[in-house]
Amino acid sequence: MNILIVHAHPEPQSFCSAMKDLAVATLSDAGHSVQVSDLYAMNWNPVASAADFNEPSNRDYLVYALEQRHAHAKGTLAADISAELDKLLAADLLIFNFPMFWCSVPAILKGWIDRVLLSGVCYGGLRFYDRGGLSGKRALLSFTLGAQPHMFADEQAIHGELEPMLRHLQRGTLAYAGLSVLPPFAAYHVPYITPQARSSILADYREHLELLDRLEPLNFPTMAGFDRQLNPLPREELV
């Protein structure tokens, strides 16, 4: 497999960065080809703007998604976006490795999503979910957080369940673009735990990565369940 790890932590000595290093080692040892986009090290620009298009189709009024399509067709996308898109399209597995900031990805990684998941390539028209532009590829969120597992245990927990908190990423982003989303790896309580507990999380993460092929992807809608206006079809109309 070709694997792309998009990593977004500002501290190279952090536990989150150790998770990235472990993933590179474990997946390379298993015979995969692994690339890392270390967004902080690359000084990645996260801001989607008119500057992303060298020869915009409309200089007077920016419609970002339309300019993405135009620039892709003409080969006039900003070089930093093109380079990441090439890595993404070559990948069979995409891993986002990050510290949870405000129940989501850090802005630098959100800006990778905003700029690289190109309209017309990764999604567009009725090409989303199982018909998304990235279908056939898999994705995995792997992240650190300060909270403990019981705080996301169920809807009565202080923060409710983890799935809805991550829905914008796993469903609204990855699954939407066609990726098959594997169960996430959450490294809980990281700032507060002993070195021994950290080692044990790394061992768990290694196992998660070694068993990737046995992980059942999460369930998301399939387009066959909806009409062209995206209303759910009555069950009897489904084949």
Is residue 217 part of the contact set for a second copy (CB under 8 A)?
A: no
| 3-class state of residue 209 by DSSP | helix
Helices of type H across 13-106: 15-29, 39-42, 64-74, 79-90
Among 159, 189, 198, 206, binds a second copy (CB under 8 A): 159
Q: State how far the Cα of 7 lies from the Cα of 36, in Å rounded to an integer.
A: 7
> Looking only at Cα atoms, what is the longest distance across the chain?
58
Does 72 contact a second copy by CB under 8 A? no
- Going by the DSSP 8-state scheme, the letter that residue 124 receives in this structure is B
Q: How many residues bind a second copy (CB under 8 A)?
A: 54
> What is the C-alpha separation between 175 and 179, in angstroms, rounded?
5
Tell me: does residue 166 bind a second copy (CB under 8 A). Answer: yes
Do the strands 2-7 and 33-38 form a parallel or antiparallel pair, or are they unpaired?
parallel
Does residue 136 interact with a second copy by CB under 8 A? no
Binding a second copy (rule: CB under 8 A), the pick from 56, 111, 178, 184 is 111
3-class secondary structure, 7: strand
Q: Say whether residue 221 binds a second copy (CB under 8 A).
A: yes
Among 30, 78, 89, 107, binds a second copy (CB under 8 A): 107
Amino acid (one-letter) located at 221: P
Residues in contact with a second copy by CB under 8 A are 10-11, 13-14, 40, 46-50, 61-65, 101-108, 110-111, 113-114, 117, 129, 148, 150-151, 156-160, 163-168, 171-173, 176, 191, 221, 226, 229-232
